[in-house]
A and B are shown apart, each in its own frame.
Chain A
C-alpha cells in the first residue's frame, strides 16, 4: 500500500485524483501555508470551447496563514455567480443532470467553512461519486509534527501510518532526493499524468481543466477505467 500527501484543492484537475487513485491512504496537507496565486481556490472550466477561470473568494487570504485557517468569503452572490457560469457552460453535457447537483451541494454548503474544509468536502464527495474508496486523513487533525520541516515531516507521516511507499505529485517544495527518503526507510516516487482525451463540445480538445469537466463529459466507469489510470509513476 502507498500513501500520498497533498494540499487540499477545490475541484482540482485530474492529476490530483490520479494521486488518490494511486494511493491507499491520502493525506490532506492542510496545515501548511496557503499560496495566494496558486490553485487551492480556483480552477478552469470549459466555456464556449475555451477555458474559463473560476475562483472561490476567500477572506483575508494570505501566504502567512495556514490553508486550514483561510475562510471562504461569506458571499452567496459569488457562489451563485460560479453556479450560473457552470450551468449554461455544461447544460448540454451528457452527465450534467447527475453532476450539477453534486457541484451545487458542494458550493452552497460552503457557509462558514474554511477553504480547506470546502476543498476536502469537494474531493471526498467526488471520490464518493466515483466509488473510489480510500482512507482520507486530515493532517492538522492527526499529526503533531508541525515542528518538523519539509521532507522530514513527510517521512514522519509515512512512519506514523506504517507505510513505506510515498507517491508525490511531480515536483514539490518539500522534496529533497530519493536517497534522503530512502535513508528514512521511505520509497519516494512521482506521479505524472498523461493526457487522456474525451469528447467535449468543440472540435478542439481543451486539456487539463478542472475535474468538473471530466465529470460532465464522462461516465463514472470511463473515468475510473480509462481516465484516472492514465498516468505513470517513477
Chain B
C-alpha cells in the first residue's frame, strides 16, 4: 500500500484531493484514533520507525512525504 492509499483508507480522502498542503487534522474524518492508526499503517507499509520528532513534524501530507524521503523511502 502506498502513501496515497493509506491516506485514502485512513481518512476517506480521494487520491485526487490529496494535495501536499492539506493539514491532516483539518480533514473531516480526522480524529486522534484515525491519526494513530494512520501513523501505524505508514510505519508498517514503509518498514520505518518514526521518532517523536518525526511525528510532531508530520502536519501536512507534504510533511509526511518529506519525512519518508528523509528516511530513504520513495513516495
Contacts and interface: CB of A to CB of B under 8 A. Distances in A.
**A and B bind:** yes
Interface of A: 6-7, 9, 12-13, 15-16, 35-40, 169-173, 175, 177-178, 188-190, 192-195, 208, 232, 234
Given A15-B33, A37-B28, A172-B32, 6 more contacts: A12-B33, A169-B35, A177-B56, A190-B52, A193-B40, A234-B51
Interface of B: 12, 24-25, 28-41, 43-44, 49-53, 55-56, 58
Contacts of A35: 30-31
Contacts of B38: 171
B28 A232 contact: no
Nearest to A174: B32
A170 B36 contact: yes
B56 A175 contact: yes
Contacts of A170: 35-36, 39-40, 50, 55
Which secondary structure dominates where chain A touches chain B?
loop
Nearest to B26: A173
A195 B36 contact: no
A39 B35 CA distance: 11
Given A177-B56, A208-B37, A208-B40, A7 B50 contact: no
Contact of B29 (A9, A37, A177, A190): A37
A35 B36 CA distance: 15
A171 B33 CA distance: 9
B43 to A, nearest CB: 6
A13 to B, nearest CB: 7
Contacts of B24: 171
Contacts of B35: 169-172
Contacts of B53: 178
Contacts of A189: 52
Nearest to B53: A178
10 contacts: A7-B33, A12-B33, A15-B36, A37-B28, A40-B33, A170-B35, A170-B36, A175-B56, A190-B55, A234-B55
> Which residue of A7, A12, A170, A193 has the most chain B CB atoms within 10 A of its CB atom?
A170
A39 B32 CA distance: 9
Contacts of A177: 56
Contacts of B40: 15, 170, 192-195, 208
Given A175-B56, A234-B50, A208 B33 contact: no
